[in-house]
């Protein structure tokens, strides 16, 4: 019996044929992408195009199972395709590209339009948003996936029906107030941040390093986390002394000077600011004497054991001293050293100084392994999560093909560490009316770039009935509005507008809703605008917080219970948001980028 026969029995003849005659795009051939490519090939998709800009690294091999050691430095897309060719039982046509998906000359809009479905297997929000917009321009469904460790999601975005990728708010990486990092740390992560971004960069980075935490200038009280003048003076003095200290980097006594300043004198100075310690446990400076140092220097490498072990204060001091010696030997003013989690000297310095500071501030110490994860912002990828998330993505695609009820029939899948259930599903959300991506009317314009903005404005006025009070922008650049009419006589080319740009038209009279045009180009001397129905701009409504809304502010989000599946999903917002899963809708507009006039 042939493999085709088996698949026909499982899928049914009709679905088998639909899949066999379809053409799909897979963006990303990393952790999820490798799994997904295997699934799509085994499901017998007719044509599968795979895009990945990257080459294979050693660190990919533990989970990107299509790659072997011999493939290191080879392109991911071609290598993945070669690997699945061994089990391409249904003769799918496989096409690789080693390019970034943004390359409009390789991937013009018409190319995207040739696919029946797009599978995202990406690792960054920017590329996901880009594909999301392409889907909105073309009215094409995207199956979006993401994983972080044991958490993950699959979400179909069906233009005009379901919420899009940008309908939901994504948190930006967490930052800490300067005073928490510099004077009152209370968690290991505060000490890691201090050791890596402040201490290491100040001592071994570039001389004029504009390390965020080195400078207190230009920061307001909320960023600083304090307006205590005494504390700010102390922090300023501390930084200046560090610059001074760096001058003796070549001296033999440098290690002692660093330890005595950082872990003794600076702490004694902080203790003098009594206000800081009224509600907090006081830090305790270390007692660094020549005798103590002599004992520390007796500690051997063997005694330190593996990176999983918790080191004592003395062991941390011994690691600090040897890392300082190694870094001193490597340092020269012209070749500053950058922190790299895979550079043992820089990592040892950060691990040891983190732990010594933690000891001083009564914070639990951490192993080298744990600090490496925090300092390198690493959440280990889990092959199993990638495998089942990819599996769900490919299975959901079967229900989406040729299905006018896809919105109703498709579930969103989530994996989380909720106590009662690891995997769960929910209905697709409706679009968020405030979404900066899908609340916009979209179309494709065909423009001869030698024409001027004046000609575009005339065409817009004529076609859509705007009066001239409009603002035109591309990305973050405003190219025209009533106060900025210097550009009107310039051509598109002069204004560096090119194929594939997204031109936004904002009605400054606040009547019409926003429009975004994908720019395709021609040389026929014309501007051809799409037929669009532009809805009026929604009137701003005074939002009154109901009791129910207030409940939403809790850390836990409860998803709708579904009669059929009896699914109750409870997820921590902060967790799912980091991989782009179910997030709060209300704040999507905060994702909107700031624009500047040019």
Positions marked active-site: 179
Token code pair at residue 303 = 């005694």
Least Å from the CB of residue 461 to ligand ATP: 36
Q: Which is nearer to ligand ATP, 60 or 346 (CB)?
A: 60
**For ligand ATP, how many residues bind (rule: CB under 6 A)?**
20
Give the x/- contact pattern for ligand ATP in 27-66, rule: CB under 6 A.
Answer: -xxxx-x-----------------xxxx----xx------
Question: Residues near 194 by Cβ (< 8 Å), separated by ≥ 6?
Answer: 181, 182, 185, 213, 354, 357
Decide if residue 80 touches Zn ion (CB under 5 A): no
123 binds, among ligand ATP, Zn ion, none (CB under 5 to 8 A by kind): ligand ATP
Decide if residue 327 touches ligand ATP (CB under 6 A): no
60 is known to lie in a ligand binding site: yes
Q: Identify residues 365-404 at the interface with ligand ATP (CB under 6 A).
A: 381
Decide if residue 122 touches ligand ATP (CB under 6 A): yes
Q: Identify residues 101-120 at the interface with ligand ATP (CB under 6 A).
A: 101-102
What's the Cα-to-Cα distance from 41 to each of 50, 248, 386, rounded to whole Å?
12, 62, 17
Backbone phi, psi, residue 94, to 5°: -115, 125
Burial of 114 (0-12, 13-18, 19+ CB in 10 A): exposed
Q: Which is nearer to ligand ATP, 52 or 255 (CB)?
A: 52
C-alpha 447/C-alpha 459 separation (Å) is 11
101 is known to lie in a ligand binding site: yes
Tell me if residue 124 falls in helix, strand or coil.
Answer: coil
142 is known to lie in a ligand binding site: no
Token code pair at residue 117 = 């479905």
The number of residues making up the chain comes to 598
387 binds, among ligand ATP, Zn ion, none (CB under 5 to 8 A by kind): none
Q: Comparing C-alpha atoms, which of 407, 436, 412, 446 is closest to residue 530?
A: 446
Decide if residue 437 touches Zn ion (CB under 5 A): yes
Q: Where are the beta strands (DSSP E) in 496-555?
A: 502-507, 515-522, 527-528
C-alpha 163/C-alpha 160 separation (Å) is 8
Assess contact for 220 and 179: CB atoms under 8 A.
no
Pairing of strands 23-27, 117-120: parallel
Q: Which is nearer to ligand ATP, 124 or 332 (CB)?
A: 124
Q: Which residues of 473-492 are buried (b: 16+ CB within 10 A; e: fewer)?
A: bbeeebbbbeeeeebbebbb
Decide if residue 76 touches ligand ATP (CB under 6 A): yes
What's the Cα-to-Cα distance from 61 to each of 13, 27, 84, 211, 381, rounded to whole Å?
37, 19, 16, 34, 12
Least Å from the CB of residue 374 to ligand ATP: 16
Which of 11, 46, 65, 123 contacts ligand ATP by CB under 6 A? Answer: 123
281 binds, among Zn ion, ligand ATP, none (CB under 5 to 8 A by kind): none
438 binds, among ligand ATP, Zn ion, none (CB under 5 to 8 A by kind): Zn ion
Residue nearest to ligand ATP (CB): 30
Q: Comparing C-alpha atoms, which of 88, 61, 86 is closest to residue 74?
A: 61
Select from 25-33, 276-284, 300-308, 557-565 the region that touches ligand ATP (CB under 6 A): 25-33
Q: Which residues of 55-93 are buried (b: 16+ CB within 10 A; e: fewer)?
A: bbeeebeebbbbbeeebeebbbbbbbbebbeeeeebebe
Decide if residue 435 touches Zn ion (CB under 5 A): yes
167 binds, among ligand ATP, Zn ion, none (CB under 5 to 8 A by kind): Zn ion
127 is known to lie in a ligand binding site: yes
Q: Which is nearer to ligand ATP, 35 or 345 (CB)?
A: 35
Least Å from the CB of residue 511 to ligand ATP: 37
Eight-state DSSP code of residue 525: S
Q: Identify residues 140-169 at the interface with Zn ion (CB under 5 A).
A: 164, 166-167
Annotated binding site for Zn(2+): 164, 167, 435, 438
Annotated binding site: 28-33, 52, 60-63, 76, 100-101, 123-128, 164, 167, 435, 438
Annotated binding site for ATP: 28-33, 52, 60-63, 76, 100-101, 123-128
Residues that bind Zn ion (CB under 5 A): 164, 166-167, 435, 437-438
Residues that bind ligand ATP (CB under 6 A): 28-31, 33, 51-54, 59-60, 76, 100-102, 122-124, 127, 381
């Amino acid at each position: 019996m042939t493999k085709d026969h088996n698949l026909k029995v499982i899928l049914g003849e009709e679905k088998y044929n639909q899949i066999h005659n379809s053409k799909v795009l897979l963006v990303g051939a990393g952790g999820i992408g490798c799994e997904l490519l295997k699934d799509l090939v085994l499901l017998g998709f007719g044509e599968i195009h795979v895009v990945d800009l990257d080459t294979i690294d050693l660190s990919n091999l533990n989970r990107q199972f299509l790659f072997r050691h011999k493939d290191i430095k080879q392109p991911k897309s071609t290598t993945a395709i070669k690997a699945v060719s061994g089990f391409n039982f249904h003769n799918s046509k496989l096409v690789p590209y080693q390019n970034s998906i943004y390359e409009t000359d390789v991937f013009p809009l018409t190319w995207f339009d040739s696919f029946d479905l797009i599978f995202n297997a990406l690792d960054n929000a920017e590329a996901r948003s880009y594909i999301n917009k392409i889907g909105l321009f073309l009215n094409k469904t995207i199956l979006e996936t993401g994983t972080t460790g044991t958490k993950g999601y699959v979400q179909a975005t069906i233009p005009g029906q379901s919420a899009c990728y940008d309908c939901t708010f994504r948190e930006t990486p967490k930052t800490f107030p300067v005073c928490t990092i510099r004077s009152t740390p209370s968690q290991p992560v505060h000490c890691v941040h201090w050791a890596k971004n402040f201490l290491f960069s100040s001592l071994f980075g570039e001389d004029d390093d504009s390390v965020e935490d080195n400078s207190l200038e230009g920061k307001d009280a909320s960023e600083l986390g304090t307006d205590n003048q005494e504390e700010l003076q102390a922090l300023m003095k501390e930084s200046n002394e560090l610059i001074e200290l760096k001058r003796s980097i070549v001296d033999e006594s440098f290690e002692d000077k660093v330890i005595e300043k950082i872990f003794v004198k600076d702490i004694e100075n902080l203790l003098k600011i009594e206000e800081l310690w009224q509600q907090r446990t006081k830090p305790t400076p270390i007692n660094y004497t020549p005798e103590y140092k002599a004992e520390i220097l007796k500690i051997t490498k063997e005694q330190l054991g593996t990176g999983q072990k918790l080191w004592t204060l003395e062991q941390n001091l011994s690691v600090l001293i040897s890392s300082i010696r190694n870094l001193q030997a490597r340092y020269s003013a012209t070749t500053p050293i950058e922190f790299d989690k895979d550079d043992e000297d820089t990592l040892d310095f950060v691990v040891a100084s983190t732990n010594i500071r933690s000891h001083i501030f009564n914070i639990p110490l951490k192993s080298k392994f744990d600090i490496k994860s925090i300092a390198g912002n690493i959440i280990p990828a889990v092959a199993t999560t990638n495998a089942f998330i990819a599996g769900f993505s490919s299975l959901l695609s079967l229900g989406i093909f040729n299905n006018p009820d896809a919105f109703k029939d498709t579930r969103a899948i989530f994996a989380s560490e909720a106590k009662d259930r690891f995997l769960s599903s929910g209905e697709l959300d409706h679009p968020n009316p405030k979404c900066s991506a899908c609340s916009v009317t979209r179309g494709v314009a065909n423009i001869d770039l030698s024409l001027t903005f004046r000609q575009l404005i005339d065409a817009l006025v004529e076609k859509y009935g705007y009066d001239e009070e409009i603002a035109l922008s591309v990305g973050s650049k405003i190219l025209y509005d009533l106060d900025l009419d210097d550009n009107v006589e310039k051509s598109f080319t002069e204004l560096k507008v090119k194929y594939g740009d997204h031109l936004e038209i904002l009605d400054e009279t606040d009547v019409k809703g926003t429009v975004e045009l994908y720019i395709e180009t021609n040389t026929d001397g014309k501007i051809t605008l799409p037929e669009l129905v532009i809805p009026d701009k929604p009137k701003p409504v005074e939002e009154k917080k109901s009791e129910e809304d207030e409940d939403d502010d809790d850390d836990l989000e409860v998803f709708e219970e579904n009669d059929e599946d009896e699914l109750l999903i409870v997820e921590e917002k902060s967790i799912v948001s980091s991989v782009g899963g179910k997030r709060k809708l209300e704040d999507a507009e905060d994702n909107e980028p700031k624009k500047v006039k040019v």
